[in-house]
Amino acid sequence: MTAEEQINALRSELHDHNKRYYVEDAPIISDQEFDEKLAELIALEALNPQLFDPNSPTQRVGGTITKNFNTVMHKHRMYSLDNSYNRQDLLDWEARMCKNLGVAQLDYTCELKYDGASISLTYKKGALVQAVTRGDGFQGDDVTQNIKTIRSVPLKIASNTFPEQFTIRGEIMLPIAGFKAMNVLRIKAGEEPYMNPRNTASGSLKLQDSSLVAARPLVCFLYQIVADRSYFDTQLETLNAATKWGFNVPKHYTHAASMDRVFAFLDQWETKRTSLPYEIDGVVIKVNSLAYQEQLGYTAKSPRWAMAYKFKAEAVETSLEDVVYQVGRTGAITPVAQLKPVLLGGTIVKRASLHNAAFITGLGLHYNDSVFVEKGGEIIPKITAINAEKRQINSHPIAYATVCPECATPLERNLDEAQHYCPNVLGCMPQRIGRVAHFISRKAMDIDGLGAETIQLLMQHGLIDTFADLYTLREEDLIPLERIAEKSAQNIVQAIANSVQVPFARVLFGLGIRYVGQTVAKKLAQHFGSIDALSNASLETLEGVDEIGTRIAHSIVAYFKSDQSRKLILQLRQAGLQLEQQIIQTPTSALLKDLRFVVSGVFERYSRDELKEVIEQNGGKIVSSISAKTSYLVAGDKMGPAKKIKAETLGVSILSEADLVAMLAS
As annotated, the active-site residues are 113
Q: Is residue 82 within 8 Å of 302, Cβ to Cβ? A: yes
Beta-carbon contacts of residue 591 (< 8 Å; ≥ 6 apart): 618, 619, 663, 664
Cβ-based neighbours of 446, under 8 Å, separated by 6 or more: 440, 499, 502, 506
d(CA 557, CA 538): 7
* 557 vs 202: CA distance, rounded Å: 43
Three-class SS of residue 493? Answer: helix
3-class DSSP state for residue 274? helix
- Residues 73-109 as b/e (b if ≥16 CB within 10 A, e otherwise) read ebeeebeebebbeeeeebeebbeebeebbbeeebbbb
Mapped onto helix, strand or coil, the DSSP state of residue 61 is: helix
**In this structure, what DSSP letter does residue 533 have?**
H
Are 196 and 314 within 8 A, CB to CB? Answer: no
Contact 206, 131 (CB under 8 A): no
Q: How far apart are CA 650 and CA 643, in angstroms?
A: 11
Give me the count of residues in the chain.
666
Cβ neighbours of residue 514 closer than 8 Å, sequence gap 6 or more: 330, 555, 559
CA angle 50, 52, 53 (to 5 degrees): 145
Burial of 399 (0-12, 13-18, 19+ CB in 10 A): exposed
Residue 205 · residue 121 · CB < 8 Å? no
